Amino acid sequence: MPTSRTILAVDPFELPPWLGTSQVAWTARSSIHDSHLVTGELTGDLTGSGEPIGCDLLACDQAFPQVVLADEWRCAAHQSWTHEQVLLVEYDGRLTLAIPGTGFTADLVLEALARLAKAVGVSPTQLVAVLRL
């Protein structure tokens, strides 16, 4: 059963410039243990200044009760991960990191965020993560 969600590729160079020029915080808005989709948001300058953007994490291999990503997107997510990158997509209108697997651990979340930092051309030390267990 294919997913009915709207999915589009995201070019990291089209993301807000502050992602590559200031310290950034990613804050989980849902638990990292309860679902294949962790909602979150990115905020620049660690002071809450600037317009936060939604940034979710999607475990792309979840297939029950519904497939979350079509095979072409899942393949792209696995290929990116193999090359130490992360696939950036727009998933239902929100920036989303598509990650191989069916769930999350704290280590996997941190690795995905480090790969996001790499995609926008900054050191992972520029990123702070706030997890909701």
pLDDT band at 5 (very low <50, low <70, confident <90, very high): confident
The span from the CA of 15 to the CA of 90, in Å, is 11
The phi, psi pair for 30, rounded to 5°, reads -140, 165
Q: Is the pTM of this model over 0.85?
A: yes
Reported as a pLDDT band with limits 50, 70 and 90, residue 22 is: confident
Tell me the pLDDT of the chain averaged across its residues: 92
Residue 22 CB-density burial (10 A; 0-12 exposed, 13-18 middle, 19+ buried): middle
pLDDT average, residue stretch 104-111 = 97
Measured CA to CA, the distance from residue 8 to residue 103 in angstroms comes to 22
Query: pLDDT band at 45, cuts 50/70/90?
Result: confident
**pLDDT for res 48:** 58
